[in-house]
Amino acid sequence: MIIVLRPDATEEQIQHLVDIIGEKGLRAHISRGTERTIIGCIGDESKLQDIPFLAIPGVESAMPILEPYKLASKSFRPEKTRINMRGVEIGGDEVIVVAGPCSVEPNDTLFQTAHAVREAGAKILRGGAFKPRTSPYDFCGLGEEGLRMLDEARQATGLPIVTEVMDTREVELVYRYADAFQIGARNAQNFNLLREVGKYDKPVFLKRGMSMTIKELLMSAEYVISQGNPNVILVERGIRTFETATRNTLDIAAVAVLHEKTHLPVFVDPSHAAGDWRYVTKLACAAVACGADGLMVEVHPNPERAFSDGAQSLKFTKFAKLMEAIRPIAQAVGRWVAEGAKS
């Protein structure tokens, strides 16, 4: 259930409602918009049926939320969520590009790439310190050493950093270094991990699992938000289908559907969807045209020597051309993409 408050509702009236909801065994989640404050009631709504909310001072309306995802629903928050990540606004008119190597490698690849993507216009640096791999014999990341390298790259370029967290035991460590958590496709329904990152105050890039429905993705976001962290960015990165021409099948329709169903920002990862660098720029263009709030792109100076995902990584010149390609498309749909910044 959501309770919409009058514009002149006082803090005392809001607290009175929170107390009433709490007395019934539910939790109140307050969302303050530019024009209205809304209270979401989390729990068994049947316990609220006997409360005459319209008779309570400060209340304008009360209605049930039919979707199983309450806090992620547009019914709960009609206004689009905007997230500030170390000065970078996600969910606004700017299409934000996150770029970097798949893995933080034990060489200067990260630092070369950080400077190159910044010069091309990327606003956030990505790189995996912990890597979930299909084979236990593949490179699984540098761990805390990789996090320290990401921190050094941030200091050198000013780019905020996002990196994947794979285990509840690593959340505190990643929190100390990163500006945002990434939950990978394999962990998108690791509910203990989702709850844990929901207890922290940094944004969460939540990737869609390879076989997840849109409803399941939103339910995973609900796990994070329900713990107090509203700053979730949904990432469409392709789903598993019968098609084998690409690594995954990019569900471009998911971008449009998610914008109808949720207030959360929506990104697209064309690199993991394609699995082949030749298709990445075209998928990125399609994503921007469809209304994506941002992109996550894998970039490497020498993909054939990459420790992971070299086949889908763009060289620096190719990434710069991707940025050039998406700028006029963003402008055509009323958005914009940053110009490059010289290091």
Q: Tell me: do 53 and 103 sit in the same domain.
A: no
Give yes or no for residue 274 having a pLDDT over 60.
yes
**What is the token pair recorded at 69?**
């995802």
pLDDT score recorded for residue 43: 83
Q: Tell me: do 20 and 145 sit in the same domain.
A: no
Burial of 128-150, coded b for 16+ CB within 10 Å and e otherwise, reads: bbbbeeeeeeebbbbeeebbebb
Give yes or no for residue 132 having a pLDDT over 90.
no
Output the domain CATH number for residue 188. 3.20.20.70
**Residue 93 belongs to a domain:** yes
Average pLDDT over residues 161-181: 96
4: β partners? 38, 61
**Residue 190 belongs to a domain:** yes
Q: Tell me: do 179 and 107 sit in the same domain.
A: yes
Q: What is the spatial distance between Cα 140 and Cα 186, in angstroms, rounded to a whole number?
A: 14
pLDDT score recorded for residue 31: 84
User: Does the CA dihedral 201-44-183-320 come out positive or negative?
Assistant: negative
Output the domain CATH number for residue 30. 3.30.70.1140
Condensed to tens digits (0 to 9), the pLDDT of residues 298-331 reads: 999 999 999 888 999 999 999 999 999 999 999 9
Q: Tell me: do 97 and 226 sit in the same domain.
A: yes
Q: Tell me: do 176 and 147 sit in the same domain.
A: yes
Q: Tell me: do 129 and 234 sit in the same domain.
A: yes
**Residue 339 belongs to a domain:** no
Condensed to tens digits (0 to 9), the pLDDT of residues 198-207 reads: 999 999 999 9
Give yes or no for residue 133 having a pLDDT over 60.
no
pLDDT score recorded for residue 224: 97
Q: How confident is the model at residue 137 (pLDDT cuts 50, 70, 90)?
A: low
Domain of 90, in residue numbers? 83-332
Give yes or no for residue 242 having a pLDDT over 60.
yes
Give yes or no for residue 216 having a pLDDT over 90.
yes
The SS3 of residue 149 is helix
Closest of 321, 304, 306, 277 to residue 116, by C-alpha: 321
Give yes or no for residue 140 having a pLDDT over 70.
no
pLDDT score recorded for residue 44: 83
Q: Which helix (H) or strand (E) holds 255?
A: helix 253-261
66: β partners? none
- Averaged pLDDT of the chain: 93
Q: Tell me: do 45 and 188 sit in the same domain.
A: no
**Residue 112 belongs to a domain:** yes
For the chain, what is the domain count?
A: 2
Average pLDDT over residues 168-193: 96
Of the candidates 18, 34, 63, which is a domain's last residue?
A: 63
The SS3 of residue 73 is strand
Q: How confident is the model at residue 138 (pLDDT cuts 50, 70, 90)?
A: low
Give yes or no for residue 65 having a pLDDT over 60.
yes
Q: Tell me: do 38 and 123 sit in the same domain.
A: no
- Comparing 63 with 214, the larger pLDDT belongs to 214
Q: Tell me: do 32 and 131 sit in the same domain.
A: no
**Residue 235 belongs to a domain:** yes
Closest of 293, 325, 327, 332 to residue 88, by C-alpha: 293
Beta strands in 105-222 (DSSP E): 124-126, 161-164, 180-183, 204-207
CB 188 within 8 A of CB 204: no
Average pLDDT over residues 147-153: 96
**Residue 54 belongs to a domain:** yes
pLDDT score recorded for residue 288: 98
- Dihedral in degrees, nearest 10, Cα atoms 268, 271, 274, 275: -150
Stated pTM of the model: 0.90
In eight-state DSSP terms, residue 329 is H
Q: Tell me: do 11 and 151 sit in the same domain.
A: no
Q: Tell me: do 59 and 90 sit in the same domain.
A: no
Q: Tell me: do 56 and 153 sit in the same domain.
A: no
**What is the token pair recorded at 317?**
């010149």
Q: How confident is the model at residue 63 (pLDDT cuts 50, 70, 90)?
A: confident
